[in-house]
Every structure is written in structure tokens, then in C-alpha cells.
Structure 1
Amino acid sequence: MKLPKELVNGGIIFIGIGVYFLLIDALGFADLFYLRLLNVFFVFYGVNRTIETNITEGKKNFVDNAVSAMITSLVGVFLSIIGLVTYSYMNGGDSYVKSLPKTFLFGGNPSVNTYSICLLFEGIASSVIVTMLLMLYWNNRHATD
């Protein structure tokens, strides 16, 4: 059984983000917020790959490609949040979240759930932005077709 490209590319986003964050944590750079923001490149890669595959398959309808791209990015976001919650609880739960850099998003003492829900909303917003940017790129690229 062949998995849909949205799930495969969403999984690629999840694996890329997961390996990236584990790597910067292992290297001791997890407190540098600008390195944490570079995960958007994995989202761009996965979503672009989905749109490119759709166009290669002859699917050039803007709305269909936008929905496919959005599903891809949301799969990546949801899997990443599930991975974050699992990783947080494996490393001490709320005490682990409190040890994360304060410069990233939060003040005070967020719980794992609060931290994850906030990152979920941020991830959904970035998914919409990435999807629209790439759809505009591909739409302009094939406007003369």
C-alpha cells in the first residue's frame, strides 16, 4: 500500500525537525533562539516537494495544490508536537519545559501542555504562511503555461 505524498512529506518534515532539534540540543546550541527558527526550512522542503510532485503528475489546480500543501505542513506540525510532548515527558515533563530557553516564546513557568499548545498555534500559522508563499511561487512560475 502506497502512502499519500502528504503523509510521506509530512513525515519528512517531522524527521528533519526532530533530528535538527536533537542535534542542536546535543551540541549545546538549544538556547540560541535563532537556530531554533531555522526549522522552517524543513517545512519549506516538505511542502515544496508535495507541490512539485503534484505539478509533475499534471495536477495544476491552485486550490487542490494548496489543500495538499496545507495537509503536508499540518501533518509535519502535528507529528512534531506529538514528538515534543513525548520527548518532554521522557525528560522530566514540566521541569524539562521550565529548563528550556526563556527567550523563545514564554515568560513564567509553562507546563508541557501550555508549551505544546502555543507551539501548535505557531506551527499552524507558519504552515499557512509557508503554503501561501510556495503556492504564489509555483503559481507565478507556471502562469504562462
Structure 2
Amino acid sequence: MSRFKIILKHGILITAFIGGFFFLSKFLGIHENPYLRFINLLFVVIGIRQAIKTNIKRNKETNYITNLGVGLQTAGLAVILSIIGVISYVELINPEFLLTMNNSFLIGGDLSLAELFITLLIEGMASVFVGSFVVMMFYKNHDKLLSHQHKTV
């Protein structure tokens, strides 16, 4: 499987989980709880891990920088798609949700939709970098482990 397909597949999956979780929380009436947004980070980290793991298994790729790039691109795509989803939701379905976001302690302020986009982009990209580097801590010695296993077999 090409890296592009891995990135695309896992980026879309992360976005789907984030969107699905939002609509589930909306259905349960808890969508205004700002603490639930931290669960999105969990979806991002799991998606990054799966993308890197897939790249290692399917492509036999053990280069740290290459796998870090897969993680960054996967999560970056998911963040962009999720922000597009939030903006679309506010514009097309529920304009009052902008007020809910502004009242959140995570956003805090009277932001326009464009300012909210920038805020979510910065917040999202921070989670992309942190999540990718955290996941790569588990895979940083993967190539050394593989070469050691081949020598002992």
C-alpha cells in the first residue's frame, strides 16, 4: 500500500471518528462539554499509530523520518478535514454552535468564524506534532529491533 493511500485512509478514519463522536455526544446532549474535545486527541494519536504501524508492516519502512512524516501528514489531513467539518456544521446546520465554541474555556472569546478556523488550526497542529512525536517514541528503535531479530534467527 502506498504511503499516500495510508495517509489518506487513516486521515479520513480519524476525521470520521471525531465527527461520529461529535454527533454521538450531540445525540446524548453532552456536545457542549468542552472536556470531551480532549477525546479527539485520543482519536488522533490512535490514527497516527495505526498509520505508522501500517507503513512499517506493509511497506517495511523503518526510517524514523519517513514514519514521522506519515504520522504528521495523516494527522494534519485529519485536522484540516475536521476543521472543514466544523465550519460546515456552523455555516450550514447550526450557526449557534459558534456561540457554544466561543463560550468554551478552550476557545474563550468572541471569535468570528475565520478566527475560530485559525484557532482550531493552531490547536489541531499542536496535537499533530505532539501526537506524532509521542507515537514515534514507541517506534524509534523499530529498525534496530528488526535487524537484531534477523541476526538472532
TM-score of the aligned structures, taking structure 1 as reference length: 0.89
1:61-110 CA-partner distances (Å, limit 9, x unpaired)? 000111111100000000000111100101354x4301336233233321
Q: Spell out the pairing of 1:9-88 with structure 2 (5 A cutoff).
A: 9-56=10-57, 57-88=59-90
Q: How far off its partner does 1:18 sit?
A: 0.4
Decide whether aligned partners of structure 1 residues 35 and 92 sit closer, same or farther in structure 2, where only a CA change above 3 A counts: closer
CA contact (8 A) 1:6 1:50 kept: yes
Which letter maps to 1:29? I
Decide whether aligned partners of structure 1 residues 88 and 15 sit closer, same or farther in structure 2, where only a CA change above 3 A counts: same
Partner Cα separation in structure 2 for residue 130 and residue 118 of structure 1: 18
Matched with 2:151 is none
Matched with 1:120 is 121
Q: Which has the higher helix share?
A: 2
Partner Cα separation in structure 2 for residue 74 and residue 38 of structure 1: 17
Query: Any idea what SS the aligned residue of 1:105 has?
Result: coil
Q: How far off its partner does 1:143 sit?
A: 4.0
CA contact (8 A) 1:47 1:73 kept: yes
Query: Any idea what SS the aligned residue of 2:97 has?
Result: helix
Query: Any idea what SS the aligned residue of 1:100 has?
Result: helix
Root-mean-square deviation (CA, aligned residues, Å) is 1.8
CA contact (8 A) 2:102 2:111 kept: no
Segments of structure 2 that go 5 or more residues without pairing to the other structure are 147-153
Higher Cα radius of gyration? 2
Q: How far off its partner does 1:19 sit?
A: 0.6
CA contact (8 A) 1:98 1:111 kept: no
Taking every aligned residue pair, what percent have the same amino acid on both sides?
Answer: 31
Decide whether aligned partners of structure 1 residues 64 and 29 sit closer, same or farther in structure 2, where only a CA change above 3 A counts: same
Matched with 1:91 is 93
Paired residue total: 143
Which letter maps to 2:10? N
Q: How far off its partner does 1:141 sit?
A: 5.3
